[in-house]
Copies of this chain bind each other. A is one copy, B any other.
Amino acid sequence: MKLIIAYIQPERLNAVKQALYEKEVFRMSVTNALGCGQQKGYHETYRGADVEVNLLKKVRIEVAVNEGFVEPTVEAIIKGARTGKIGDGKIFIHSLDECIRIRTGERGKDAIG
C-alpha cells in the first residue's frame, strides 16, 4: 500500500479529480497548502510598504492506493495538473504499513478502496 501526496495548483483540482475518476480512483483527501519553490512569487503593497509573497496557494492531495494503482494514479494526477508552467507541482510517494477503515475495522488492502 502506498500513500501518494501531490501538490498542485488550486485551479487544477477539478481536472485532477476528473482524471482520477476516469482511472477509477474515487477516494482522496484534500487540504489547502502554501508552497514555495521554483515559481516566483508576487508583490503586495500595503500603505506604501512592499511585501514579496513567495508562499503561494497550492492544494495538497493525499491518495492511499494499493500497489497496482500507483502508476494509474500518478498518471491521472499529472494529466489533470500539468500545464507546463512552473508551479505545476510535485508528487511524493511512500509506503504505508497499514490502512484501517474506521467504520468496519477492515484492515489492509480491502480498507484502501
CA A28 to CA B64, docked complex, whole Å: 21
Q: Is A49 an interface residue (CB 8 A)?
A: no
The answer to whether A94 touches B91, judged by C-beta atoms less than 8 angstroms apart, is: no
Chain B hits for A97, CB < 8 A? 2, 93-95
Chain B hits for A83, CB < 8 A? 103
CA A29 to CA B35, docked complex, whole Å: 4
A27 → B minimal CB distance (Å): 4
Chain B hits for A78, CB < 8 A? 100, 102, 105
Please report which residues of chain A, range 71-100, place their CB below 8 angstroms from some CB of chain B when the two chains form the complex. Answer: 74, 77-78, 81-100
Chain B hits for A105, CB < 8 A? 78
Contact with B along A44-83 (1 / 0, CB 8 A): 0000000000010010100010000000001001100111
Chain B hits for A74, CB < 8 A? 100
A102 → B minimal CB distance (Å): 4
CA A74 to CA B102, docked complex, whole Å: 9
Across the A-B interface, the 5 shortest Cβ-Cβ residue pairs: A88-B103, A93-B98, A91-B100, A88-B102, A27-B37
